[in-house]
Amino acid sequence: VGDGPVPARLPITGKFNFTIFRHGDSLWFAQGNEKFRSITLLHCYNYRTGETFVYDKIPPIQESFAMAFMEGKFYLVTNKGLGIIEGDSLRQLFVPSGIRDNQAAPYAMQLFSPGVLGVASCDGLVLYDTRSLKTDTLINLPGFCIRSLWKYKDYIFIGSYGKGFYIWKNGRLKNMPRDKNNFLLYTHCF
């Protein structure tokens, strides 16, 4: 995800986590580094300055992460919850509760409405209201993951891995019909 032209030389060398988020002059990724080889940390490369900042105060990224930029702030979701990046740290807004210590690793995050972020994972599609600090599970498909989110005008397309795709608009969710060959059951991207 990003805006603006992509430079000819990429700033990431070596192995890195498969999640990348681009916003403005920043490229966010997770990677081990010389100081912290055994753990994967969030990094931010600035195209303007050519510098990479390592967020060693933010808990390690265990699998994947998702990010969104909303109301002038960067939001980060991992399997340990959702928070706002403030300086070199993460202020947790939502921490998973219940039997497990964490939630499923996120695949994508999208702004659904002002103050509300939707997170796609194998736990379903969960809406996080950052103002009221409440959550709502929009889609729960036990055994099937929500893998992709894409916004087009007032529509949000939601892709699952095995249960087709959905469209959300103005608070209404609709399961879309299958194609005759059932190719759309596994919607990786839009």
CA distance 150 to 190: 7
Contact predicate 159/147, CB 8 Å: yes
Instruction: Tell me the three-class secondary structure of 19-74, residue by residue.
Output: CEEEECCEEEEEECCCCCCCCCEEEEEECCCCEEEEECCCCCCCCCCEEEEECCEE
Residue 36: pLDDT over 80: no
pTM equals: 0.87
The residue-averaged pLDDT of 12-29 equals 86
CA distance 84 to 97: 19
Per the structure block, which two tokens stand in for 177?
């019909």
**What's the confidence (pLDDT) of residue 14?**
73
CA distance 53 to 42: 9
Lowest-confidence segment of 10-19, 24-33, 54-63, 149-158 by average pLDDT? 10-19
**What's the confidence (pLDDT) of residue 12?**
75
The residue-averaged pLDDT of 115-124 equals 95
Whole-number Cα distances in Å, 40 to 8, 34, 49, 88, 117:
26, 11, 23, 16, 25
Report the mean per-residue pLDDT for the chain. 89
Higher pLDDT, 18 or 27: 27
Residue 185: pLDDT over 70: yes
Per the structure block, which two tokens stand in for 172?
């209404």
Collapsed DSSP state (helix, strand, coil) of residue 184: helix
